[in-house]
A = this chain, B = another copy of it.
Amino acid sequence: MATMQDVARRAQVSVSTVSYVLTGARPISQATRDKVLAAMAELDYQPNALARGLASRRSRILGLLLPMDERGIGATETAFVTGATSAAVAAGYHLVLSPIGVGDLDELRRLASQRILDGALLMEVQLHDPRVDVLREAGVPTVLIGRTEDPSGLSYVDIDFDRTVRAAVDHLVGLGHRRIVYVNHSADTIAEGYGPALRTRDSFTAAMTEHGLTPLMIPAEDSAASGRAALASALRQEPDLTAVLAMNESAVFGLLGELSTRGLTVPDDVSVVSMVTSPQVAELATPALTAMTSPGSALGRIAVQTLLRHVESGDGEIHQELLPCVLEVRGSSGPPRTPAASTTDPEAADERSSPGTEAARRRAATRRRA
């Protein structure tokens, strides 16, 4: 493995000159630069990142702290990661993921205090996230993906849950739905301070109230079984419901199963809209789910650029940005059968639907199997 010494010798210049060619910290004449670059190429020289980091006090490594629960990493997070990675690489940094959640504070402390990371991106941020304090104590510049309860003084990027929920509600209300139930994460998750669950709950309540409708929220664990239970509970509390808005990807599938078990069709009897769901997952369902798609890749890019600004300018000004999810209408949402009669004959319901719509087409397809 060639060192800078070798390059310098071969190019007949001093080590510092080679360094300046690499870093651009001082001007180097074109002739010298060419000699040095040629020597590097011939020796297949690669700078030793550790030595460089030690001398410059900058590792050029960014950490993405990404809790991994047993469910894995969804397409949304993946988009975020790829967006962040390409932004980091473009800036000459490495982006490494570390599966560190709020439970692994010791490992985080090690990572942060050992000066391995120039900066950190925090995913799955909780309202009171101890990781933020650990990083601050260690003096590691940080950008949050999500928000703590009081994010003042912290840079973050996050989904604009308020606009997202409102867009979803508007979509359903626009289709004619009045009885809409919101399936959220579990009560425990909410109590534990999971921001998205809280924020969407509040926005849902506000949006429904503004439309003059009564908000009904049902919590559900992140499991299919719990989704089934949630639907049962929803139908008990609101037998006339015509639409479900869900924040809980795992529960949605159970919910769809339960609808089918009860002989209710989607979207004829009940429309289903899933929040913050990737196209790939939405397409798994039959019919495919109308969903709010998250701007994952853009969030990742913005987060890295913000972080680098902090890293390179020794803590620049804070930057806070919210991006909404965009509505993608698929087969699971359509006009309600009739405002009050959810048990009407299917043929009758068909009469009042515009025959050319996607929803109508799907409904017809679904009926074929009856």
Interface residues of A (CB under 8 A from B): 1, 46-51, 53-54, 59, 61, 63, 68-79, 81-82, 85, 89, 94-99, 107, 110-111, 113-116, 139, 223-225, 250, 253-254, 256-257, 260-263, 278, 280, 283-286, 288, 365-366, 368-369
Interface centre among A96, A278, A280, A369 (most CB of B within 10 A): A96
Which of B49, B223, B225 has a CB less than 8 Å from the CB of A114?
Answer: B49
Known A97-B96, A284-B250: A114·B262 in contact at CB below 8 Å: no
Known A54-B54, A97-B96, A286-B224: A113·B46 in contact at CB below 8 Å: yes
* C-alpha gap A283/B205 in the complex (Å): 31
Interface centre among A68, A69, A75, A261 (most CB of B within 10 A): A68
Check A82–B68 contact: CB distance below 8 A.
yes
* C-alpha gap A368/B261 in the complex (Å): 8
Check B78–A68 contact: CB distance below 8 A.
yes
> Can you list 26 A-B pairs, Cβ within 8 angstroms, ordered by A?
A1-B139, A46-B110, A49-B116, A51-B54, A54-B54, A68-B73, A70-B75, A70-B280, A72-B72, A72-B73, A72-B77, A73-B78, A94-B98, A94-B116, A96-B97, A223-B280, A223-B283, A224-B285, A224-B286, A224-B288, A253-B285, A253-B286, A256-B286, A260-B286, A261-B369, A263-B369
Q: 19 more A-B contacts (CB under 8 A) besides A223-B283, A254-B286, A257-B286? A: A1-B113, A48-B54, A49-B114, A50-B115, A63-B96, A68-B73, A68-B78, A72-B74, A94-B110, A95-B98, A97-B97, A97-B98, A97-B99, A250-B280, A254-B284, A256-B286, A257-B285, A260-B260, A261-B368
Residues of B within 8 A of A82 (CB): 68, 99
CB A285 to nearest CB in B, in angstroms, measures 7
Which of B78, B98, B224 has a CB less than 8 Å from the CB of A284?
Answer: B224
Give me the 6 closest cross-chain CB pairs, A-B, nearest first. Answer: A257-B286, A46-B113, A96-B96, A49-B114, A97-B97, A73-B73
Chain B: which residue is nearest A282 at the CB level? B224
Which of B76, B94, B225 has a CB less than 8 Å from the CB of A111?
Answer: B94
Residues of B within 8 A of A73 (CB): 68, 72-73, 78
* C-alpha gap A278/B69 in the complex (Å): 13
CB A335 to nearest CB in B, in angstroms, measures 22
* C-alpha gap A263/B369 in the complex (Å): 6
Residues of B within 8 A of A54 (CB): 48, 50-51, 54
Chain B: which residue is nearest A53 at the CB level? B50
* C-alpha gap A252/B118 in the complex (Å): 43
Residues of B within 8 A of A261 (CB): 286, 365-366, 368-369
Residues of B within 8 A of A278 (CB): 70, 72
CB A121 to nearest CB in B, in angstroms, measures 13
* C-alpha gap A257/B287 in the complex (Å): 8
Known A46-B113, A97-B96, A284-B224: A262·B72 in contact at CB below 8 Å: no
* C-alpha gap A41/B71 in the complex (Å): 38
Check B78–A369 contact: CB distance below 8 A.
no
CB A51 to nearest CB in B, in angstroms, measures 5
Check B81–A116 contact: CB distance below 8 A.
no
CB A76 to nearest CB in B, in angstroms, measures 8
